[in-house]
Structure 1
Amino acid sequence: MRVIVIGAGEVGSSIAAGLADSHEVIVVDVDGDRVEELTYSIDVLAIQGDGTTMSTLEEAGVEDADIFIASTDNDETNIVSCSAAKIASDPFTVARVKRPSLLDTWNRSNQGFGVDFMVCTDLLSAQAIVTIVGLPAARDADPFAGGAIQMAEFEIPVDSPVTGQTVAEADRFDSLTFVGILRNDEVEIARGETTLMEGDYVVVIGSPESVQGFGTELSPEATPSSAEEIVIVGGSEIGYQVARLLEERGLEPRLIEEDHARARDLAERLPKTVVMESDATDLEFLSREHIDEADVVIAALTHDEANLLISLLAKQLGTSRAVAVVEHADYVDIFESVGVDVAINPREITAEEITRFTHEGRAENISLIHNDRAEVLEVEIDDESILAGRALSESMADLPEEVVVGAITRDGECIIPRGDTRVEVGDHVVVFARVDVVDAAAAAL
């Protein structure tokens, strides 16, 4: 498959790196230094040029492209690039935008602008945060099969009830499958005899209720359920979207915004959110507002340093969990190593969403696990799948050992797979695979 990526920033470089081993990838960027750096670091063809111009697109071979991805930090550049690509040829076009208003316009225009799929960074980030907020102890979570199945990655905390138990002993939920263990930067397939250890990252797949139940068992403190327990710091677009999505779930968060005009605007647009105008680094204010009693503090300011400071202040005061937006991907591990419970990188989330369009096979949804060490894929089974019409105990022998079927949906119902489970055409199967066998698994499924 020939893939053209416009933009060699964090999103574009991440997409290109993930595709370079199995696809022909061409990356275009106006910055010569970025182009040179990419040329020496990834096996792709990097071209210096303006992705909105026909001459550059023709140099990149747009007439032979299967997928065209516009992922610069400028919304208008991405939309114009996709439009130009459609004029020159007919690749599947993907545009990254930050502003949800552009996504709304695109949806209302019946997929206009020459864009086949639009990814909104701020909205995706807010959705990821809200999903994490609803799962105690989770560091990553994604829905599959229209919400009937959920994947979640949990860290085994200190003194967890499951520490020292085997997977078989910890698996006390009817609709849950343990699929992977991430330990010392290595991915292990979860077996019944695998012992869970403090500090492990465990990946589970199952019904939302069972995933929620397991998360609660790992971290017995209650899941946020009232307005006083969720605090958002920063009225950025991500902060606003998080509050709006929480309101849709019936929650009533508090939001702290220092700018008077922005705070007033947010108060008018968020009827169920208590908007407070203040400097969130003011310890006296934080103490007065009982931040120590919050189940979750979400740092959604526009600067990484400020989000780190707010998160650490909240944890110092006694907040149960701190979730921070981190604009620079290199800082994610640093944030989580110094005490931030979950660091959300918008560019990483965007790259993950775009990546699912580039897989061979029929993957309908994809989630990248723990810095791309593994993937969870959703596939609709057709007549050509090696799973179709066969019991899992028989068909799994034709897949790599590093692949686990986590859940199946049939007519909207979640089925937890067992050896004698027979997969039917039309079923949606959610599988966990180590990254080095993902392409082989996707092609076989």
Structure 2
Amino acid sequence: MSEEMNVNELPEIQEGTVVKVKVETVEDNRVIVSIPNAKYDGIIPISELSSLHVEKASDAVSVGDEFEAVVTKVEDPATDADKKTGNYVLSKRKVDAEHAWEKLEKQFEAGEILEAEVKDVVKGGLVVDLGVRGFVPASLVEDHFVESFEDYKGKMISFKIVEMDREKNRLILSHRAVVQEQKEEQKGEIIQNLQAGDVVDGVVQRLATFGAFVDLGGVDGLVHISQLSHEHIENVEDVLEEGQKVKVKILAVDPDEGRISLSIKDTLPGPWENIQEKVQQDAILDGVVRRLVTFGAFVEILPGIEGLVHISQISHKHINTPHEALKEGQDVQVKVLEVNENEKRIALSIKALLEDDTVVEEVVEYELPEQETGFSFGDLLGDKLKDFNKKD
């Protein structure tokens, strides 16, 4: 009788009351919990154990676990004739969600990075448990394409909240945002340590029509197509491929813009090195006219090596501009007049290999009589001689 009175004197627990419970029994589809100072034990259905789907109750809790739960229904035999024993039906999931949303809202506002275990891999992304169900779309898992996410299950991964709606129970997370943020920090540190003139190792990350992006260990720099080789390059693919290891010289670093200009050409032996062994005075070489200027033509005689044919060395005839005799891209033969390795200068001549077909007109002066009559000297004096003979 005293026990009955003690039970009746216990405080009334109603729907909506949050109580602390202890797991006493774990069954397949429910958990039996004890509630301090309560008339009856409590029952938590498997669907109310977690915000995520669980196959067995033991996947979510174990005997002896203590936590808070909210009463969702009171089964009292005093008011319900169908019930022989009293029970409280509770939800752990709702209390966890309430606490979780409050915490998540603060973390979202602060831009905090969260860590959580990937509980499941579903079509379109990953599922994590942060007290509420969080979803990571496939496009927000990494900053690169991932063919399969199966290896992510069970791993602890860091996330940032990108979208949340408490009323709709919607929580969107991004691991990619964390990766990109970390890379930006790493990029800043690397850029600070790079100096123009340094020669460093890199890996070709990506090819473009205008050049190649090279990874310097967490930060990419651009090698413009003009900086790939001493030779003229039409297509980047002709000299580089993705994944190729290269040495590059740092030309310029812009920390504010995060830009790094690189050169592969400057790490290679220059075409002018030992040029006098490759090109000797009086040698006759084949070349291509690369540029025409007012004072002559630049002819490429070796890859990356151009010599100057002065306008006076283009033709035996007088020309006003090189365009009168040559055009860019034209194949020509030239004679080497001079090689200056120090000044990187080669003087060439086209004229020296051409025959001089210039006609020089000579003016010959003849001393002519003042007047030509057509008569001889004897003819002019003939009659006078006859008269002289008669007198004799």
TM-score, length-scaled by structure 2: 0.18
Larger radius of gyration: 2
Structure number having the greater helix percentage = 1
* Higher-strand-fraction structure: 2
| Higher RCO by CA contacts (8 Å cutoff, separation 6 or greater) | 1
- TM-score by length of structure 1 reads 0.16
